[in-house]
Amino acid sequence: MGDAADAPTLTDVQHRLQYALLDPGAPAEQAEAMLAGTPELSAARRLEIYRNGCRNRQLETMAHLHPALRHLLGDELFDDFASGYLEARPSRAYTMARLDEGFAGYLSAGRPDSDGSQAWVDILIDLARYERAFAEVYDGPGTEQDGPLTDLLTGQVPEWPAGRPALAAALGERRIVMAPCVRSLRVGAAVHEYHAAVRGGTNPPPLTPQPTYLALWRRDYRVRVTALAPQAHALLEALLGGAAFREARATAALEPAVAWGHVREWSACGWISAFTEPPPPPQTPETSETPATPGARREPAASSTPPAPHGSTQ
């Protein structure tokens, strides 16, 4: 009975085997003790076969997630970078779709120019960042279940109320809830065009440094990408960060009507999920009431409307 009580649970066995498979530096003794060996094939050799198969599957997934970066670097160099990443940062995600979550950070930490002076290194990292964002938008929640895009926010995005300061002030305090599939990205080259060309089966020209401001979103289950002007991108980033419209357009240094025009355009593209009202002002105690005298009887206030009969509604 004591041996049965001390036996590892199924969860323990799964964790030990996963650790031995995914982490090259993990001691294999525990996992080997749980695998059956034969005279022809030892438990250690079986574990090695499993480990190699798992690593090959991971490399295939990395190539699938980063087709443009693999095209740019070449198969062998890309596999070297991907293998180094998988060894340095073994995946702990429950899905292979998140295998590359730290890849751009790994490339950034190991860049050969410590001062960040080499533009081509920035382009490589930006391409990895873009492909990660592309995968997040593709696999994440979208707006496909929200109805036709032409019906989104109907009647909620009027023209900017020029000459009506009270209404303009009210709109300025609203927070604009962006759709969950919207992403913003600042990169040092037109990586979106390079990525699209590779996915389309063509050989694009080399990337050249060029500051680029991107917005990614999904429509009809397809990832869409567009380049924005720097100020429009700054507005989008501020709105994605939760800023009210007034704060966001000030951050972007845009005139209210111009910034609101971007909001109207983005709503038509399905980038916006909702508008939220500004929070109510803090309540302050009434100061005009005369303090009641202790022990005095307080008379009810006169009303010009007779009380409604019990059970009726007003």
**Tens digit of each residue's pLDDT, the chain (314 residues):** 446 666 778 888 777 777 777 766 667 676 677 777 788 888 778 878 888 888 899 999 999 999 999 999 999 999 999 999 998 988 878 889 999 999 999 999 999 887 878 899 999 999 999 999 999 999 998 887 765 444 334 445 666 666 566 666 767 777 888 999 999 999 999 999 999 999 999 999 999 999 999 999 998 899 999 999 999 999 999 999 999 999 999 999 999 989 999 998 898 888 988 877 666 666 666 544 555 544 455 444 444 444 444 444 43
Contact between 168 and 160 (Cβ < 8 Å)? yes
Could you give phi then psi for residue 43, rounded to 5 degrees? Answer: -65, -40
pLDDT at 152: 39
Q: Write down all domains in the chain, each with its CATH number in brackets.
A: 1-140 (no CATH), 142-279 (3.90.930)
pLDDT at 154: 43
Q: Give CA–CA dist 78/88, Å, rounded.
A: 15
pLDDT at 160: 64
Contact between 151 and 267 (Cβ < 8 Å)? no
Contact between 209 and 259 (Cβ < 8 Å)? no
pLDDT at 81: 97
The pTM of this model reads 0.76
Q: Give CA–CA dist 197/118, Å, rounded.
A: 24
User: Starting from the edge strand earliest in sequence, which strands make up the sheet with 222-227, in order?
Assistant: 183-187, 212-219, 222-227
Q: Which two tokens stand for residue 60?
A: 């295939």
Q: Give CA–CA dist 122/112, Å, rounded.
A: 11
Q: Give CA–CA dist 221/299, Å, rounded.
A: 66
pLDDT at 231: 98
Q: At what angle do helices 43-65 and 119-139 cross, to 10 degrees?
A: 100
Count of alpha carbons within 13 Å of 124, Cβ hemisphere only? 23
